[in-house]
């Protein structure tokens, strides 16, 4: 147990530490543990609480809260994000402070009952430009959906110039010294958190940054890791850089082909498709043998590519593992606006190509062409069909309208 920490004149940190956690949300490694940040604002007219903590740490949270106020002083509870790492103590808090009103985004409304396991809570929905006033303080709400769940929002405490950013600008990095200017070097954790939580929603990050830009921010009170008070602009600029799409190729679109092959049949198809793509000088085509590509490299290629073509033979009625690895790392990417297609050689049953194609559709890629399947060794004519497959795919990525089959 530790004590509440002053963040500004009236605002206190009442978050908790989880130094021993090593894996977060299944997908993230947390070498330095993490924290679940929560804040308490004291005003002459009552108290506002900003988010809660993971349930198993709620005793620590309540003891910090009790050191600062009594439960009947709590007027408002602001829930920026309902994921259980922040809403775990909400059910108990609403029992202890039954008169407190909860503020959530409209998207949070259908989730609130299941998260807090109660349907008697008093709540209000808020969005950008809505304000809440209490004891001389003004809180402005900002809609920042998908960062990290659809219901996520941020808020800004006008008089104190504090941004409550939710998971945005967070990092899984526990350090008892709490503030960015006092803790150890957490840059790696900041980037890692961005890559796993924010990167799949880059366009929403860009929208959130445009809202934050209108604010004069002294301190960022996030939900994980160090509170940022020393140089908030450094972290804002990093998000800006990581989320912007650089136009290195002056508008030309990239199409990347990924393949695996055992006897070069699928490889030959891949190269004919590549030639078809390259026929259009307004496209940049790439071709990769997946067996020699690391996941981080796959991700950066996928991210840059507007079109993705995947080729694999059928092996034992299935898609070979390197291709599943590619298909399974896509949860870390934004798929909006990307095109996909599949091809491959087979011997008798040929399931692989259809499996890959269904997966791309399920991931919400636009898949305009029927997959290209060729039995065993492709003939000259069949390679020409592959070439045309490439030409057609390239034209579609470059804007040709087609009807899509679902």
The yes or no reply on residue 280 touching Fe ion (CB under 5 A) is: no
Q: Contact region for ligand FMN (CB under 6 A) — 4-12, 277-285, 310-318, 321-329?
A: 310-318
Q: What does 317 interact with, of Fe ion, ligand FMN, none (CB < 5 to 8 A by kind)?
A: ligand FMN
Q: What does 262 interact with, of Fe ion, ligand FMN, none (CB < 5 to 8 A by kind)?
A: ligand FMN
Distance CA 305, CA 402 (A): 20
CB of 364 to Fe ion, least distance (A): 21
Q: For 121, phi and psi rounded to 5 degrees?
A: -75, 145
The yes or no reply on residue 261 touching ligand FMN (CB under 6 A) is: yes
Q: CB-wise, 169 or 259, nearer to ligand FMN? A: 259
The yes or no reply on residue 315 touching ligand FMN (CB under 6 A) is: yes
The binder of ligand FMN chosen from 376, 379, 400, 404 (CB under 6 A): 376
Long-range residue pairs from 240-245, CB within 8 A, at least 24 positions apart, any chain: 240/209, 242/191, 242/194, 242/198, 242/199, 242/202, 242/205, 243/198, 243/202, 243/203, 243/205, 243/206, 243/209, 244/206, 245/202
The binder of ligand FMN chosen from 313, 322, 390, 394 (CB under 6 A): 313
The yes or no reply on residue 264 touching ligand FMN (CB under 6 A) is: yes
User: For 166-318, where are the alpha helices, taking DSSP H only?
Assistant: 187-193, 202-212, 232-243, 265-278, 295-304
The yes or no reply on residue 291 touching ligand FMN (CB under 6 A) is: no
Q: What binding mask, one character per residue, do residues 79-118 give for Fe ion by CB under 5 A, x or -?
A: ----x-x---------------------------------
CB of 297 to ligand FMN, least distance (A): 22
The token pair at 98 is: 């039954």
Going by the DSSP 8-state scheme, the letter that residue 105 receives in this structure is -
DSSP string, 233-250: HHHHHHHHHHHS---TTT
CB of 116 to Fe ion, least distance (A): 16
- How many other C-beta atoms are found inside a 10 Å radius of the C-beta of residue 168? 29
Element counts in the chain: helices (H) and strands (E): 12, 21
The token pair at 69 is: 């106020």
The binder of ligand FMN chosen from 120, 129, 214, 349 (CB under 6 A): 349
Q: Say whether 252 sits in a helix, a strand or coil.
A: coil
Q: What binding mask, one character per residue, do residues 62-101 give for ligand FMN by CB under 6 A, x or -?
A: ----------------------------------------
- How many other C-beta atoms are found inside a 10 Å radius of the C-beta of residue 192? 18
Q: CB-wise, 225 or 313, nearer to ligand FMN? A: 313
The yes or no reply on residue 265 touching ligand FMN (CB under 6 A) is: yes
CB of 354 to ligand FMN, least distance (A): 11
Distance CA 33, CA 172 (A): 6
The yes or no reply on residue 346 touching ligand FMN (CB under 6 A) is: yes
Q: Mark residue 155 as left, alpha or beta (left: phi above 0; alpha: psi -120 to 50; beta: remaining).
A: beta
Q: CB-wise, 201 or 387, nearer to Fe ion? A: 201
The yes or no reply on residue 167 touching Fe ion (CB under 5 A) is: yes
Q: CB-wise, 192 or 346, nearer to ligand FMN? A: 346
Q: How many residues does the structure list for the chain? A: 406
The binder of ligand FMN chosen from 109, 138, 233, 262 (CB under 6 A): 262
137-166: contacts with Fe ion (CB under 5 A): 148
Q: Binding-site residue total for Fe ion (CB under 5 A)?
A: 5
Distance CA 134, CA 141 (A): 14
Q: What does 266 interact with, of Fe ion, ligand FMN, none (CB < 5 to 8 A by kind)?
A: ligand FMN
Alpha-carbon separation of residue 273 from 70, 226, 280, 403 (angstroms):
69, 49, 12, 21
Distance CA 304, CA 338 (A): 10
Interaction site with ligand FMN (CB under 6 A): 261-266, 313-317, 345-350, 376
């Amino acid at each position: 147990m530790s004590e509440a920490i002053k963040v500004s004149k009236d605002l206190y940190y009442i978050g908790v530490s989880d130094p021993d956690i090593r894996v977060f949300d299944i997908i993230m490694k947390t070498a330095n543990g993490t924290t679940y940040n929560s804040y308490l604002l004291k005003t002459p007219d009552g108290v506002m609480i900003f988010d809660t903590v993971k349930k198993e740490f709620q005793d620590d949270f309540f003891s910090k809260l009790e050191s600062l106020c009594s439960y009947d002083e709590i007027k408002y509870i602001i829930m920026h994000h309902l994921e259980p790492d922040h809403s775990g103590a909400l059910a108990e808090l609403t029992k202890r402070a039954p008169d407190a009103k909860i503020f959530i985004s409209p998207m949070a409304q259908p989730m609130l009952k299941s998260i807090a396991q109660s349907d008697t809570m008093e709540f209000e929905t808020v969005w950008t430009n809505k304000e809440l006033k209490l004891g001389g303080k003004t809180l402005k709400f900002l809609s920042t959906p998908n960062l990290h769940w659809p219901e996520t929002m941020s808020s800004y405490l006008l008089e104190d110039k504090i941004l409550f950013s939710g998971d945005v600008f967070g990092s899984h990095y526990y350090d008892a010294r709490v503030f960015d200017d006092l803790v150890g070097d957490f840059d790696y954790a900041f980037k890692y958190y961005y890559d796993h939580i924010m990167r799949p929603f880059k366009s929403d990050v860009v929208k959130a940054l445009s809202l934050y830009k209108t604010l004069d921010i002294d301190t960022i009170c996030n939900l994980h890791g160090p509170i940022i008070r020393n140089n908030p602009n450094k972290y804002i600029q990093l998000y800006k850089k990581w989320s912007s799409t650089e136009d290195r190729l002056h508008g030309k679109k990239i199409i990347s082909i990924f393949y695996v092959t055992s006897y070069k049949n699928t490889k030959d198809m891949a190269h004919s498709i590549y030639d078809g793509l390259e026929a259009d000088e307004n496209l940049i085509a790439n071709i990769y043998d997946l067996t020699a590509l690391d996941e981080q490299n796959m991700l950066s290629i996928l991210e840059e590519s507007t079109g993705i073509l995947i080729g694999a033979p059928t092996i034992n009625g299935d898609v070979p593992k390197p291709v599943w690895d590619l298909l399974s790392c896509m949860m870390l990417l934004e798929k909006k606006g990307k095109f996909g297609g599949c091809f491959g050689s087979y011997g008798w049953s040929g399931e692989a190509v259809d499996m890959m194609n269904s997966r791309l559709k399920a991931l919400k890629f636009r898949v305009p062409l029927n997959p290209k399947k060729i039995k065993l060794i492709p003939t000259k004519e069949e390679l020409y069909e592959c070439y045309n497959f490439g030409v057609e795919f390239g034209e579609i990525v470059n804007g040709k309208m087609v009807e899509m089959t679902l």
